[in-house]
A and B are shown apart, each in its own frame.
Chain A
């Protein structure tokens, strides 16, 4: 296993970089999209609520791989070109955002309804009440499940391997097929994933304790 690191360190490093890059981008955008969709879901407007519901049900219930492939092969064919990294990252973002939306919505609904009512009666608009009063309180409930989503996101970024996105898993496939040392290669890849996810899960646990 050490020899895999020694001989293919450069490839693994490239993979690690791409995996981290993809995860960070997907995390950022899925948080924004997910929170927006979550707000759609608690909006007074029935139309927007339905839009939010459809978004969540669609992206949550299609395998990530299918979404990734869609952006890799269908979108370039009919809409505009994009490479595997972009396609995979978009797919991962949409997929994850649907889970984040569900999580954040649950968090919003866990906040006592009196908070929104008090704010509205006080003259705040729906969005002001959401932003200043409800979301900060919802955030507290949402930290632990959100942490799980982030860890899943890192692991799910291995979808890039299927659309030639040069991530850790893709590089692992390359190394394994060049060396035939499948076993040690995937152990090495697994350890590199742990290097990303373990600190993340410890940090999440720390945050959870701090906020509790």
Chain B
């Protein structure tokens, strides 16, 4: 059974048709990179997966729960699906360590000692163990994003969603974050990543999804896609961002 499965999903913002007939499966351990021009619906797509956006039609199954069903407990899904945002969204009123320990404590009722141990280990693995007592304000963008990734991992999720995790970072910090993401991918995490980092996509992605105008135009094995995209618009898009 796929971890994430879209079946004929339609999404509207009022009259605006933001997602059109989306069909997509993400298998356990798979890394799917979503690319496409700005405004094509990438964020919307990824945000529907943990219920930050509602869908109007079709079925969206995450870990077997149907998100279109009003009875589905979204908190249950969010427990298992972490999300990393472009602008980090760390808790400004909490220290780095508290940021990581809060959800496991409140949601998973993890005991204090274990919670702290896990948190410290994660901070070490993302390379910010010297900042445990700092507040988000005091961190660089790259540090913030790595803390945010650690925060998601602390929930021991079954899948992780990334929405342009490096777009708000200074260039010299991008690699630090990408390296952390690569390491997570190697450990077998199921990941959906919206990004313009083609190097990362080539190296890590199993599959690439190309979106435009709310539609999935191409959904291909990563190596096939980068060798020769079938869609004309995907070709143009690729050539544009690779020139950069």
Are the CB atoms of A123 and B91 closer together than 8 Å? no
Q: Which of B75, B79, B89, B106 contacts A118 (CB 8 A)?
A: B89
Contact segment of B11-19, B80-88, B115-123, B236-244: B80-88
Q: Which of A112, A121, A125, A132 contacts B82 (CB 8 A)?
A: A121
Contacts of A132 in B (CB 8 A): 91, 102, 106
1/0 per residue, CB under 8 A from B, across A107-131: the answer is 0000010110111111111001000
Q: Which of B88, B107, B148 contacts A123 (CB 8 A)?
A: B107
A115-B91, A133-B91 are known contacts. Are A121 and B102 too (CB-CB below 8 A)?
Answer: no
CB distance from A139 to the nearest CB of B (A): 9
Q: Which of A119, A120, A125 contacts B91 (CB 8 A)?
A: A119
Contacts of A120 in B (CB 8 A): 52, 78
Are the CB atoms of B91 and A121 closer together than 8 Å? no
Contacts of B102 in A (CB 8 A): 122, 124, 132
Q: How far is the CA of A137 from the CA of B151 in the complex (A)?
A: 20
CB distance from A125 to the nearest CB of B (A): 6
Q: How far is the CA of A123 from the CA of B103 in the complex (A)?
A: 6
Are the CB atoms of B75 and A123 closer together than 8 Å? yes
Q: Which of A118, A120, A122 has the most CB of B within 10 A?
A: A122
Are the CB atoms of A117 and B106 closer together than 8 Å? no
Q: Which of B82, B89, B90, B107 has the most CB of A within 10 A?
A: B89
**Does more than half of chain B's interface fall in helix, strand or loop, or is it mixed?**
loop
CB closest chain-A residue, reference B157: A123
CB distance from B158 to the nearest CB of A (A): 12
Q: How far is the CA of A123 from the CA of B74 in the complex (A)?
A: 9
The answer to whether A136 has its CB under 8 Å from any CB of chain B is yes
Contacts of B143 in A (CB 8 A): none
Are the CB atoms of A137 and B89 closer together than 8 Å? no
Are the CB atoms of B85 and A122 closer together than 8 Å? no
Are the CB atoms of A137 and B107 closer together than 8 Å? no
Q: How far is the CA of A122 from the CA of B104 in the complex (A)?
A: 9
The answer to whether B50 has its CB under 8 Å from any CB of chain A is yes
